[in-house]
């Protein structure tokens, strides 16, 4: 087979990694066609793309018109997932990368890296029980990001988010590439759940409801600000307690319902795409893109905290204060900060070992 340009040679090399010889020609043909017709847009990598979140997330990002190139990386099964998703007749060019030797190629040139790599919970576990396995996975992947796409925005999904975000920050600091505006822990699922549960109670369409959820992403660190719900409304004490408890335990509700088969994947993929799309609109320069995320923060005395952030060309360009809290929320905030402090410190200590 002859390759006339450097781009074709690259496609052929990738194809040779991913496909048996009889499929390499068709892969090359497809990639060439897509590359020629490829729309202007952002380059996005998903790390952990063959997993329960990764697969539907990859499918939804392939539909996103802001994405021109979609890299799917995992330690297993990416050839199959990539072949499958690449048949969708949408604009993004999809390429698969399998295993650690291909991590650098997966990351080079990316604008946005989304990380759902790592093990999920089983019933009876806390998110912190995932620390021992997921901390090392996140550290390795972030070392790759620091080396190959140090300016990329990172959306970190892997649990425990309250610790993995501090780990990522330490990796980037060590590499000299840390930009706090570009490292975002994904807490969007808490907001998605809060909107849904609050809408149920109010008898509204969830698309018309906006609930800020601040703090972190585990148990009592998930703090819905029900006094700031839009449209403005009020709740009885019983409703407040029911909603706060359901939002804080939404993840556990799914883990128990799945009975050993993992945690939230489909609603998480939806939430991850909603958040990634907001990041891409910010990168494009759209005005007024505001979402909740777990970021480096001065909103409290803790070094990281989830709150509303304005997403722009530089990432989280503005971090909003919490606004007025009622007594119930002030008590919740103190509990959240106490637990968060330990989880953040655990992540930082892991990275300094």
**Under rule CB under 6 A, residue 159 binds ligand LMR:** yes
CA–CA separation, 44 vs 68, rounded Å? 8
What is the secondary structure of 55-122 as a DSSP string?
HHHHHHHHH-TTEEEEEEEESS-HHHHHHHHHTS-SS-EEEEEESGGGHHHHHTT-SEEEE--SPPP-
CA–CA separation, 193 vs 28, rounded Å? 42
What part of residues 178-207 is at the interface with ligand NAD (CB under 6 A)? Answer: 186, 189
**Under rule CB under 6 A, residue 189 binds ligand LMR:** yes
Give which of ligand LMR, ligand NAD, none residue 111 binds (C-beta under 5 to 8 Å, depending on kind): none
If you ran DSSP here, which 8-state letter would residue 230 be given?
A: B
Helix (H) or strand (E) holding 6: helix 6-18
Sequence-ordered list of residues with C-beta below 8 angstroms from that of 70, at least 6 positions apart, any chain: 44, 45, 46, 58, 61, 62, 85, 92, 93, 94, 95
Among 90-98, 113-121, 276-284, 340-348, which window interacts with ligand NAD (CB under 6 A)? Answer: 113-121
If you ran DSSP here, which 8-state letter would residue 236 be given?
A: -
Give which of ligand LMR, ligand NAD, none residue 254 binds (C-beta under 5 to 8 Å, depending on kind): ligand LMR
**Cβ neighbour number for residue 260 with a 10 Å cutoff:** 10
158 appears as a binding residue in the annotation: yes
**Under rule CB under 6 A, residue 159 binds ligand NAD:** yes
Of positions 163, 263, 297, 307, contacts ligand LMR by CB under 6 A: 263
Give the residue closest to ligand NAD by C-beta.
51
Total chain residues near ligand NAD (CB under 6 A): 33
**Under rule CB under 6 A, residue 312 binds ligand NAD:** no
Length of the chain: 353
What part of residues 206-245 is at the interface with ligand LMR (CB under 6 A)? Answer: none
**Under rule CB under 6 A, residue 121 binds ligand LMR:** yes
Give which of ligand NAD, ligand LMR, none residue 24 binds (C-beta under 5 to 8 Å, depending on kind): none
34 vs 127, beta carbon nearer ligand LMR: 127
Instruction: From 31, 109, 126, 53, select the one nearest 342 (Cα to Cα).
Output: 126
What part of residues 17-76 is at the interface with ligand NAD (CB under 6 A)? Answer: 47-48, 50-54, 74-76
CA–CA separation, 157 vs 254, rounded Å? 16
Structure tokens at 127: 């998110």
119 vs 204, beta carbon nearer ligand NAD: 119
Burial label, 167 (beta-carbon count in 10 A; 0-12, 13-18, 19+)? buried
**Under rule CB under 6 A, residue 128 binds ligand NAD:** no
CA–CA separation, 94 vs 33, rounded Å? 12
Binding residues for NAD(+): 48-54, 74, 134, 157-159, 268
- Residues lying near ligand LMR in the complex (CB under 6 A): 120-121, 127, 159, 189, 250-251, 254-255, 263-264
Interface ranges with ligand NAD (CB under 6 A): 47-48, 50-54, 74-76, 116-121, 130, 134, 137, 140-141, 157-159, 161, 186, 189, 217, 262-265, 268
């Amino acid at each position: 087979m002859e390759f006339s340009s450097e781009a074709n040679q690259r496609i052929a090399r990738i194809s040779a990694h991913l496909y048996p010889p009889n499929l390499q020609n068709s892969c090359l043909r497809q990639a060439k066609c897509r590359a020629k017709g490829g729309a202007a847009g952002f380059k996005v990598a998903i790390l952990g793309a063959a997993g329960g979140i990764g697969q539907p997330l990859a499918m939804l990002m392939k539909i996103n018109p802001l994405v021109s190139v979609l890299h799917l990386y995992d330690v297993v099964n990416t050839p199959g997932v990539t072949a499958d998703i690449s048949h969708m007749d949408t604009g993004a060019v999809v390429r698969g990368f399998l295993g650690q030797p291909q991590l650098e190629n997966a990351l080079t040139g990316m604008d946005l890296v989304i990380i759902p790599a790592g093990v999920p919970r089983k019933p009876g576990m806390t998110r912190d029980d995932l620390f021992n396995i997921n901390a090392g996975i996140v550290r390795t992947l972030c070392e790759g990001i620091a080396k190959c796409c140090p300016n990329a925005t990172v959306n970190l999904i892997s649990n425990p988010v309250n610790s993995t975000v501090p780990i990522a920050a330490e990796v980037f600091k060590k590499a000299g590439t840390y930009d706090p505006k570009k490292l975002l822990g994904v807490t969007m699922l808490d907001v998605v759940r809060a909107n849904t549960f609050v809408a149920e109670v109010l008898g509204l369409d969830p698309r018309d409801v906006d609930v800020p959820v601040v703090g972190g992403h585990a148990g009592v660190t998930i703090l819905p600000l029900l006094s700031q719900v839009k449209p403005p409304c009020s709740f009885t004490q019983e409703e407040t307690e029911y909603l706060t408890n359901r939002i804080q335990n939404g993840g556990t509700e799914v883990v128990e319902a799945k009975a050993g088969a993992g945690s939230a994947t489909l609603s998480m993929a939806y939430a991850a795409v909603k958040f990634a799309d907001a990041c891409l609109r910010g990168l494009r320069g759209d005005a007024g893109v505001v979402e909740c995320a777990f970021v480096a923060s001065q909103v409290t005395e803790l070094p990281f905290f989830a709150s509303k952030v304005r997403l722009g060309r530089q990432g989280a360009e503005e971090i909003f204060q919490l606004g007025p809290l009622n007594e119930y929320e002030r008590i919740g905030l103190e509990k959240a900060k106490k637990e968060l402090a330990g989880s953040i410190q655990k992540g930082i200590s892991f990275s300094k070992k």
